Amino acid sequence: MADLRSDLWCMAFVRRHNDMGNMCVVARRGDPIAGQIFIEVDHLDGTRSLFTPAPIISRGAANGQVFQRRFSRVEPAKVRDRIEQEVSFDPDLWVLSIDLRGDDLGIDVIRGPDA
């Protein structure tokens, strides 16, 4: 089964979280068909986390979007700098920004570099 288009996946993610009462927005629009998706989480305590697409080799048999936690509860500048670095390399990526006190985004997450 083919992956869902990036724009449709992002819109569904934003809508689902806004319906649950979490403020979620598209901070940056990327390629609608196959743009990579980054999720920036503001934990509302002065820290942020960043979820990035998992490497294809580590996804196993998983279908759809699979993420890894790139940063966990770090200072906002570190997340912002990483996103800017990625945008300079891949201008087609999406950035979703969500305010969430907890850690459960309701996404598939594999063990990342900070785990």
> Which among 73, 76, 71 is positioned nearest to 38, based on CA atoms?
71
The SS3 of residue 94 is: strand
Tell me the average pLDDT across 86-95.
Answer: 96
Q: Computed from CA positions of residues 35, 18, 66, 5, in that sequence, does the dihedral angle turn out positive or negative?
A: negative
Q: What is the pLDDT of residues 3-57, one digit of tens each?
A: 789 999 999 999 999 999 999 999 999 999 989 999 999 999 999 999 999 987 6
Contact 29, 92 (CB under 8 A): no
pLDDT grade, residue 112 (50/70/90)?
low
User: Which tokens sit at 46?
Assistant: 């002065």
Output the pLDDT for position 55.
86
Whether the per-residue pLDDT at 92 is higher than 80: the answer is: yes
The SS3 of residue 18 is: helix
pLDDT grade, residue 75 (50/70/90)?
very high
Output the pLDDT for position 82.
97
